[in-house]
Structure 1
Amino acid sequence: MWSSSPATPGALDSVSVVLESERPLDVGMSLSGLRRGPGDPTYQRDDAGSVWRASRLPSGLVTYRLTQTTRYSVRCTAWGDGGAEFTDMVPALLGCDDDASGFEPEHPTLKEAHRQFPHLRLGRTGLVMEALVPAILEQRVHGVSAFSSWRTLVTKFGDRAPGPTPRPMFVPPTPDVWRRIPSWEYHLANVDPARSKTIVRCAHVAGRLEQTTSMSYPDATRRLRAVPGVGIWTAAEAAQRALGDPDALSVGDYHLASVVGWSLLGRPLDDEGMIEYMKPLAPHRFRAVRLLQVSGKAIKPKFGPRTPLVDHTRH
């Protein structure tokens, strides 16, 4: 249920609305997966606990602030030409369309996590390139390196976010800009040619990729994976955020299979073992993984030193 409210006093050219729900809401939990590292220029959390994000919509740039006002209500204030369009997207972003019916895990750990977090909702941004590019940057590298590349490229080639942001924020580049970034700029951002070429290929067909928001999850995944360089892991990471796919399992992740194995079986699994073990949880396999994460029940013992970071700028 929606209720409108006046713009925040002193916030020029803003639109403000309140989302009220019959089910509990949790802004931090719903949006945490959209943050790409602590220095993400598109994401900020202020001292009051509000979440700020900057995005590019068909109607224009938007900066939005989401503030939890009660357990069942969230206030959204948006700035920029895309503000009005964004207010219509808030319910989907906070997972109001997410349907967990049929999810009845049998494993005690998942049962307990589901009991503790029955209000977990898988939101969807509806913005495919916004989710796909950082996923490509995260292919086969440490998160800290990928986050640095994302921060460098968005800050240098994106647009300054509108509105009174708590710190300078930036909107990701357009597909045309992603396509035209010189190869040496990707190199300086520590992005190897394989990943930069994949970003460019996606940018060339960005319109067709954005159409996946209106397709079934399997059809959307097939279209994403039709782009050379976009494999099952990258497609799943994008589908989780842009499409809200509750079954998008990140097969090929460096840690996930082992985490699932240690958390639910007390021993590591490989990808094939994880796929087989999680079959009964379909079509909610990503929901199960997310529950392990938010409940703090995802575990993986540490063995040996961490693999070294790779600096592609030296190659």
Structure 2
Amino acid sequence: MSAGGWHSDPVTVTRRLTPPERYAFGASVRPLLVPKHDPCGRFDAGGLQLAMRTPAGPASLILTRIAGELEATGHGPGAEWAVERADAIAGLRDDVSVFPALAARHPLVERLAKTFAGVRLPATGQIFARLLRAILEQKVTGKEAHRSYRAVCRSFGEPAPGPVDLLLPPDPAVVAATAYWEFHPFGVEQRRTQALLRAAQVADRLERCADAAEATARLTALPGIGPWTAAETVRFAFGDPDAVSVGDFHIPNTVAFALAGEARGTDERMLELLEPFRGHRGRVCDLLAMGGITAPKFGPRMPLRSFSRF
């Protein structure tokens, strides 16, 4: 990846980026957004728009595909920070150089690695914004979690700077000062709300973590945040390709079925099967998901609930 020139003025900052061959822009950045509608981001034919709370202040980042390159444009007080990190947010700092050799250890993984060779793992450098989503996704269906996420963002968000119709992610300080019962109408019960409030109280410390390992240690030291939530956070905050979501409802079965032909798997079995891919274990799980690989389904689905109606 190479970068072109920079241009800045008091309002905007722009930068040109050159992605690698076969780079898949949409598939790389869509995981940054909640499906269907995310108040804090948008991906469409025009590219990616993302609202951010940077260390330098609020910003909006616009990534646009132009003649094989990416143009990154930032607006707001944090524009320079956002544009400097634009290549990481697009996944262009993701190092996949050793992965083909690891993928060759299993024929299915090798095939998926070739099929999705252009997909890169983003690294936003933003912990609390992703942690908010991960906490809301604990032990509920995706539909429930995403509904709550949208409601929380609409309630706590503020308009993002620049020519985007987006909201900034909730300010951790404002979240931390909110009573837990105020989250009830958003469909979030006391257990998840208290985990969120604890995280919001130490958000500044979390944002200063140097890498995924430090962030994981700090996150899992907080009551209500376990390995699953930490992995879901650091995977995209730091672009950690080894982050495995231990404790997931589906992934152990998917890994056991895909890699060993076993219809059901435990976390322990999943980690055993992923060990040959250490350093990129989370990437293997992502490839299985992108390839539509699932274990046979038995039993009832997890029901949809609305805690706001309890």
TM-score, scaled to structure 1? 0.90
Instruction: Give the distance between the partners of 1:183 and 1:311, measured in 2 at CA.
Output: 17
Instruction: Give the distance between the partners of 1:259 and 1:52, measured in 2 at CA.
Output: 32
1:3 Cα shift?
1.5
Match of 1:209 among 206, 228, 231: 206
Q: Which residue of 1 aligns with 2:55?
A: 58
Q: Which residue of 2 aligns with 1:193?
A: 190
Instruction: Give the distance between the partners of 1:220 and 1:164, measured in 2 at CA.
Output: 33
- Are 2:60 and 2:82, in contact at CA under 8 Å, matched by a contact in 1? no
Match of 2:264 among 261, 268, 277: 268
1:25 Cα shift?
3.0
Q: Are residue 128 (structure 1) and residue 127 (structure 2) matched?
A: yes
Instruction: Give the distance between the partners of 1:86 and 1:56, measured in 2 at CA.
Output: 9
- Are 2:61 and 2:83, in contact at CA under 8 Å, matched by a contact in 1? no
Residue by residue over 1:30-78, the C-alpha shift from the partner in whole angstroms, topping out at 9 and shown as x without a partner, is: 21211123121012123x241111111111111222122244x211122
- Are 1:262 and 1:300, in contact at CA under 8 Å, matched by a contact in 2? yes
Secondary structure, in 3 states, of the residue corresponding to 1:133? helix
Match of 1:44 among 38, 42, 45: 42
1:96 Cα shift?
2.6
1:289 Cα shift?
1.3
Quickly say closer, same or farther: Cα 1:24–1:70, change in 2 above 3 A.
Answer: farther
Q: Which ranges of 4 or more aligned residues in structure 1 deviate by more than 4 Å?
A: none
Residue by residue over 1:69-117, the C-alpha shift from the partner in whole angstroms, topping out at 9 and shown as x without a partner, is: 244x211122222112111001221223222233222111110111222
Write the mapping of 1:259-298 to structure 2, written as runs, cut at 5 A.
259-266=254-261, 267-294=263-290, 296-298=291-293
Number of equivalenced pairs: 305
Quickly say closer, same or farther: Cα 1:195–1:178, change in 2 above 3 A.
Answer: same
Instruction: Give the distance between the partners of 1:79 and 1:290, measured in 2 at CA.
Output: 32
Unaligned runs of 5+ in 2: none
- Are 2:153 and 2:169, in contact at CA under 8 Å, matched by a contact in 1? yes
- Are 2:58 and 2:160, in contact at CA under 8 Å, matched by a contact in 1? yes
Quickly say closer, same or farther: Cα 1:292–1:202, change in 2 above 3 A.
Answer: same
Write the mapping of 1:248-263 to structure 2, written as runs, cut at 5 A.
248-263=243-258
Range with bigger deviation, 92-101 or 154-163? 92-101
1:238 Cα shift?
0.4
What amino acid does structure 2 have at the position aligned with 1:18? R
Secondary structure, in 3 states, of the residue corresponding to 2:58? strand
Instruction: Give the distance between the partners of 1:120 and 1:79, measured in 2 at CA.
Output: 27
- Are 1:41 and 1:170, in contact at CA under 8 Å, matched by a contact in 2? yes
Q: Are residue 69 (structure 1) and residue 66 (structure 2) matched?
A: yes
Instruction: Give the distance between the partners of 1:37 and 1:307, measured in 2 at CA.
Output: 19
- Are 1:62 and 1:81, in contact at CA under 8 Å, matched by a contact in 2? yes
Residue by residue over 1:13-34, the C-alpha shift from the partner in whole angstroms, topping out at 9 and shown as x without a partner, is: 3332211145543321221211
Secondary structure, in 3 states, of the residue corresponding to 2:208? helix
1:262 Cα shift?
2.5
Residue by residue over 1:152-193, the C-alpha shift from the partner in whole angstroms, topping out at 9 and shown as x without a partner, is: 11111111122222xx32111211111022323200101111
Unaligned runs of 5+ in 1: none
- Are 1:263 and 1:297, in contact at CA under 8 Å, matched by a contact in 2? no
> Structure 1 vs Structure 2: percent identity of aligned residues?
37
